[in-house]
Amino acid sequence: MKIKFWGVRGSIGSPIRPESVKHKIEKILSLASPTDIQNEQSIHSFLNSLSFSSSSTYGGNTTCVEIRDKEGNLIIIDGGTGLRELGNQMMASEFGKGTGHAYWILTHTHWDHIQGIPFFVPLFLPGNHFEFISCMNDAEKRLEHQFVFTHFPVSFDHYAANKTFQYIEEGETISLGPHIQAFSKAVRHPGGSFSYRFMEEGKAIIFASDAEFNLEEMENIDTYIDYFRDADVLVFDTQYTFEESLQKIDWGHSSASIATDIALRAKVKKLVMFHHDPSYDDEKLDLVYLRALKYKEMFDPHGKLEIIMAYEGLEIEV
């Protein structure tokens, strides 16, 4: 399986501000020596030596992820603002010809997980087929409500692609094409949300965004540890610092330290920190990432858990 991240922010889109771009440029110039900018190769090497926040950005789009099986069959997870760019790329494939097919998993319908759907171009083309799958028995009605005229000038019916909706029970195993199977597990979040475990040939990717795990729940978490166990990739909600999570009980999100604890106990191979707070700039996210690495080293210095901070364009193959 391959997983690619198109939107990694939570709550609301947070594009990089002009003053932040200027700050990045000033920082890069202050660190550069004459030998660093002699030619294209030296510039490339210099930029690669910088911290992620100095030379790049984690991105400001809200939740959207794609998974592909070994034959390239497509699964879309949620539809935040990152969905628009995914759709633009898809138009260069069979979806631009009206012959595309994709499964579409909806974890829940909070705004930051659906706000890209009206701008998803492949939905306009007749012949494309999208199978919406969720643990919400009224998912179609929820999306139709998003497109009422007072919210958006085009109705959901105007999108000419074939749209089908399948309700699944929590824990029910379903096939997503010939190779991937998946099942869900509810997670704590206002209004409800569901995580999903995707499996292909003994490999597992778990998507568990918008999930609140706090100290109280950590005392009774055995069923979740079994669910997360031995995942090759665990994409986990780490919107808050640990200190913030103590102040925001029932806000529906977790922290990097809690995510690391869970990943270690479940013997996860790769933890991807996800659903970044919109108020965090790239430098703050660098610090959150470094704190997570130090926390892991404190409790499991010789363990094999790899921790990654999600960014737009990140691709992982398992």
Comparing CA positions, the residue from 74, 111, 60, 91 lying closest to residue 280 is: 60
Task: State the amino acid at position 162 in one-letter form.
Answer: N
Q: How far is CA 310 from CA 35, 86, 150, 291, in A?
A: 32, 16, 35, 15
Counts of helices then strands in the chain (DSSP H, E): 10, 14
pTM to 2 decimals? 0.95
Phi, psi of 20 (to 5 degrees): -70, -35
Tokens of 139: 């998912």
**In degrees rounded to 5, what are phi and psi of residue 168?**
-125, 145
- Residue 64: predicted pLDDT: 98
pLDDT number for residue 105:
98
Look at residue 288 in the predicted model and tell me its pLDDT. Answer: 93
* CA atoms of 113 and 194, how far apart (whole Å): 12
Q: Per residue of the chain (318 residues), what is the pLDDT tens digit? A: 999 999 999 999 999 999 999 999 999 999 999 999 999 999 999 999 999 999 999 999 999 999 999 999 999 999 999 999 999 999 999 999 999 999 999 999 999 999 999 999 999 999 999 999 999 999 999 999 999 999 999 999 999 999 999 999 999 999 999 999 999 999 999 999 999 999 999 999 999 999 998 766 666 688 899 999 999 999 999 988 777 766 666 667 789 999 999 999 999 999 999 999 999 999 999 999 999 999 999 989 888 999 999 999 999 999
Supply the pLDDT for residue 245.
62
- What is the Cβ-side half-sphere exposure of residue 100, based on CA atoms within 13 angstroms? 27
Query: Coil, helix or strand for 115?
Result: coil
pLDDT of residue 250: 66
For the stretch 15-23, contacts whose Cβ atoms lie closer than 8 Å and that sit 24 or more positions apart, written own/partner, are: 15/60, 16/57, 16/60, 16/281, 16/282, 20/281, 20/282
